[in-house]
Structure 1
Amino acid sequence: MRVLLVEDEHELAAWLIRALTESGFVIEHASSAAAASQALLGGTFAAILLDLRLPDGDGMSLLGDIRQRNDRTPILILTAQGSLSDRVRGLRLGADDFLVKPFALAELEARLSALMRRSHGGSYPRLRCGSLMFDDQAKVFLLDDRALAVTRREYAALMILLQHSGRPVSRQDLFSQVFENADDTGPEAIEVVVHRLRKKLGEAVRIVTVRGLGYMLEAGADDVA
């Protein structure tokens, strides 16, 4: 599970990277808002750990920018600012959870894992691309208001693509999240999953290949206003 850690305190970042890596997470570290924005443009993550005090800006501003781009990656805020007003502002901007420093590693891991589990069910009810949408109540994909039958891995791949609709997801990122802990298969296996999804989606919603960047979900021509 690939996680973006946005934290400028080097000792804390080093400790978190070491501890979370030992727990099975794959951590990419950004020490500034600019570095975090660049990392998000270059790949996809299962979750983001976001510090509010950054050397080049306010973490709340970065949070707002992420949500404005329609990026629904789960975000857990790490902060020494535990006031009610901060929590309310963060939740309104799209944060999923807060953890006040100092915190226990076990609690961080539990909250992070819970966010990731919830994200697979779609934390946002209006998750959609053209005539494809995710029904948060029933936990199913709907295509033209009809349930779309998908396998477990097709479900995982389509959820990732829908969460990042309009932006490419690299082939390696998609493979690592769909085939997590699968040591008996190679990256080419994701091509089979994508091929099957393309057949099921038809022309209503397309999974396009963006050369050099990966796969991207976009509405078909008839669904574009």
Structure 2
Amino acid sequence: MKLLLVEDDAALAAEICRMLRAAHCALDHAVNGEDAQHLGETGTYDAVILDLGLPKRDGLSVLQAWRSAGLTLPVLVLTARDGWSDKVAGFKAGADDFLVKPFRAEELVIRLRALVRRAAAHGVARVTCGPLTYEAGLGSFERDGLPLKLTGLEWRVLSCLILRKDAVVPRAQLIERVYDGDADVDSNSVEVIITRLRRKIAPARIEGVRGLGYQLLPGGPA
């Protein structure tokens, strides 16, 4: 999953980032409402984790702006407020779920996966490419019906490719997906990951398109 975390508490944000990256998620992080609104409107995310108490612009107004702009991505609201009236206001603004602070890490991951799974039910819940099957809601891969073991970086590359299997995915987009937009990474490291994936997914294959990027193909001769 590619997630947008909107949280101005540095310690909490660092803990959430650590936990979600361990769960094979890629993250962008905003610390105020203005940046959050911009990222939500210009980025591509599977879900958003949104705090309500933000500087510059509060979370509810950010959420209302997203919904007014037609953005339908799932939004999980983090809040220290446990009152029913606050939740009603959040749901009216377009929230999909609430999680009250403090919370367990496992619950955040479970709730996010449930949100993405429900969103996938209205779109593409399962994607296949040759022997590969990707369950979008669960974030799991199978090869010939058996679970496919992947590292976190391998998972990020393969999920990006299979969700865009009919198109060539630019190298820069893969780097952003894998390394959370870190511009200083060595782009050759993506090729290393792809080399490992090619061994794991055969007869499906990843084909490099010179000067453009990579495309996932179901199999057969190169």
Does the TM-score normalized on the shorter chain lie above 0.5? Answer: yes
Amino acid at match of 1:97: D
Q: Which residue of 2 aligns with 1:121?
A: 121
How many pairs does the alignment contain? 150
Q: Which residue of 1 aligns with 2:163?
A: 178
Q: Which runs of 5+ in 1 are unaligned?
A: 123-133, 141-150, 157-171, 194-225
In structure 2, distance between residues paired with 1:19 and 1:65: 28
In structure 2, distance between residues paired with 1:54 and 1:75: 16
Cα deviation, residue 58, structure 1? 1.4
Match of 1:53, SS state, is coil
Sequence identity of aligned pairs in percent? 36
Amino acid at match of 2:4: L
Q: What RMSD, in angstroms, separates the aligned Cα atoms of the two structures?
A: 3.0
Q: Which runs of 5+ in 2 are unaligned?
A: 135-156, 165-176, 179-193, 199-205, 208-212
Cα deviation, residue 177, structure 1? 7.0
Indicate if the aligned counterparts of 1:175 and 1:189 stay in contact, CA closer than 8 A: no
Indicate if the aligned counterparts of 1:5 and 1:48 stay in contact, CA closer than 8 A: yes
Indicate if the aligned counterparts of 1:4 and 1:27 stay in contact, CA closer than 8 A: yes
In structure 2, distance between residues paired with 1:153 and 1:62: 36
Q: Which residue of 1 aligns with 2:154?
A: none
Cα deviation, residue 43, structure 1? 1.6
Q: Which residue of 1 aligns with 2:127?
A: 152
Q: Which residue of 1 aligns with 2:70?
A: 70
Q: Which residue of 1 aligns with 2:172?
A: none
In structure 1, distance between residues paired with 2:48 and 2:34: 15
Indicate if the aligned counterparts of 1:47 and 1:112 stay in contact, CA closer than 8 A: yes
Indicate if the aligned counterparts of 1:7 and 1:32 stay in contact, CA closer than 8 A: yes
Amino acid at match of 1:178: L
In structure 2, distance between residues paired with 1:5 and 1:43: 12
In structure 2, distance between residues paired with 1:106 and 1:73: 22
Indicate if the aligned counterparts of 1:49 and 1:76 stay in contact, CA closer than 8 A: yes
Alignment of 1:30-49 (within 5 A): 30-49=30-49
